[in-house]
Amino acid sequence: MTRRLRTLLFVCHRFPYPPDRGEKIRIWHVLRHLAQSHRVFLGCLTDDARDRQYIPQVAGICADMGCFPIDKRRQKLRALARVRPGRPLMLDYYDHAPLRRWIADIVARETIDVAYVISTAMAPYVRDLAVPKILDMVDVDSEKWADYATRNPFPARLVWGREARTLRNYEREAARDAARTLLVTAPESEHFVRAVPDMNGRVLPLENGVDLDYFDPSASRFAAPYPGASTADGPWVTMVGNLDYWPNEDAAIWMATSVLPRLRQSRTPPANLAIVGANPGRAVLELGKLPGVLVTGRVDDVRPYLAHADVVVAPLRIARGVQNKVLEGMAMARPVVATQQAFRGIRAEPGRDLLVADGEVAFANAIIAVLDGQHPGMGVAARNAVEAGYAWSRQMARLDTILAEILPP
């Protein structure tokens, strides 16, 4: 007798395609893998109208899909209007009645064997579902809001501080309701378990990976995207990231205004900075007026910018989990310079596979060392490190083991 495919309800806060930003990369690879061995019912939200062109591609791997658009401004206002003591704003920001109704309909007509939920904010959608649940928190978001609170002025720091406190309590509650809770690094998992010791053994790391075929270091396949065609135009230092995410915006501003001037003063011809990423706000667009700064906005393919970068930088001063932008730069066999925050959670050897530095002077000096040819083998070492530890197949094999532990044979 042929055993029926298990049915899996997959709930996430972002449409999973294209995999062009941190969480969407993880969501897509997990979803695609699970769809190979389960009947997947995908319920998700989208705040980008451009996502709709990819609906057929995603729906094609699912048994059914409900994708519901939200307006970011309206959701923020709803969350503020509903504020009440002890409740995180995130829960109401991501609360959406049509998605709740779609999930209720799926549960009423299908026998759900397991639920996989991306992001703590989506946990309420499956709270009353009496099946094994995997909560993929990705990061401990409450820690991110706490970081925001320390770096923003009044009154924003009060809002972020409140969100950190209330979400910290809800994260623990949601984790206790799940059979397994996943975080993107072992240190992040260990940190969470110290706060919730009764969850020991049920909180596990599931790391991100890199699509090693897509991020191939054969730069000859990619035309040079930068202005100028000779070494007389100066080397290119490249930062990649979605710029509607405040830590990326902060990193771009710091890089352009504090680090780049040191690079340009120390070298002839002076270095240039490329800030590559979607949705730059006014503050980032203004950086494009500075000498040597290129702000691209959204690009169809980041690989040419990585392949032809002299140095790839990750100058984040606030970061949680694993930074895909660091792994992708390494996968493209480029020398990478990262802050300690951006490097956190990555299994690589500083000084051999990449350089790690904090502060504008040390960060600039690390870039200068690469540009001066002091680390000629770093790009190859970086690619080797990513191949050894960050193939998606390795992470998905671990996910299969986790599923086998919570589901009956």
14 with 57, same domain: the answer is yes
DSSP-derived 3-state class of residue 385:
helix
Cα distance between residue 190 and residue 163, in whole Å: 22
Average pLDDT for runs of 10 along the chain of length 409 = 80 94 92 97 95 94 97 93 93 96 97 97 96 95 90 87 94 95 93 89 94 84 78 85 93 98 92 96 96 95 95 93 92 97 93 97 97 96 95 94 91
188 with 294, same domain: the answer is no
255 with 292, same domain: the answer is yes
Whole-number pLDDT of residue 127: 94
What domain count does the chain have? 2
pLDDT digits (tens, 9 = 90+) for 259-294: 999 999 988 889 999 999 999 999 999 999 999 999
Cα distance between residue 136 and residue 206, in whole Å: 9
Which alpha helices (DSSP H) does 130-287 contain, by range? 141-151, 156-177, 186-195, 246-254, 260-266, 282-287
202 with 315, same domain: the answer is no
pLDDT digits (tens, 9 = 90+) for 119-138: 999 999 999 999 999 999 99
- Please give the backbone phi and psi of residue 39, each rounded to the nearest 5 degrees, phi first: -80, 110
136 with 190, same domain: the answer is yes
115 with 201, same domain: the answer is yes
401 with 385, same domain: the answer is no
Whole-number pLDDT of residue 170: 95
Q: What is the mean pLDDT of the chain?
A: 93
25 with 121, same domain: the answer is yes
Closest CA to 208 of 17, 349, 390, 384: 390
385 with 397, same domain: the answer is no
Q: Is 265 a member of any domain? A: yes
Q: Is 1 a member of any domain? A: no
Q: Which long-range contacts (CB under 8 A, 24 or more apart) does 183-188 make?
A: 183/137, 183/138, 183/139, 183/140, 183/321, 184/26, 184/138, 184/139, 184/208, 184/321, 184/322, 184/345, 185/321, 185/322, 185/344, 185/345, 186/345, 187/344, 187/345, 188/139, 188/140, 188/320, 188/321, 188/345
CA atoms within 13 A on the CB side of 290: 24
Closest CA to 27 of 37, 40, 39, 13: 13
Q: Is 59 a member of any domain? A: yes
Whole-number pLDDT of residue 20: 86
What residues make up the domain containing 134? 6-209+391-406
296 with 401, same domain: the answer is no
* All residues at 6 or more sequence positions from 35 whose CB lies less than 8 Å from its CB, including other chains: 61, 62
Question: 364: domain CATH number?
Answer: 3.40.50.2000
Whole-number pLDDT of residue 1: 46
Q: Is 214 a member of any domain? A: no
Q: If you write DSSP's letter for every residue of 134-176 in order, what string do you get?
A: EEEEES-HHHHHHHHHHHS-TTHHHHHHHHHHHHHHHHHHHHH
Q: How far lies 236's CA from each of 90, 331, 345, 376, in Å?
A: 38, 18, 27, 16
137 with 194, same domain: the answer is yes
Whole-number pLDDT of residue 200: 87
Determine the residue type at 124.
Answer: P
The counts of H helices and E strands in the chain are 17, 13
163 with 258, same domain: the answer is no
Cα distance between residue 90 and residue 97, in whole Å: 15
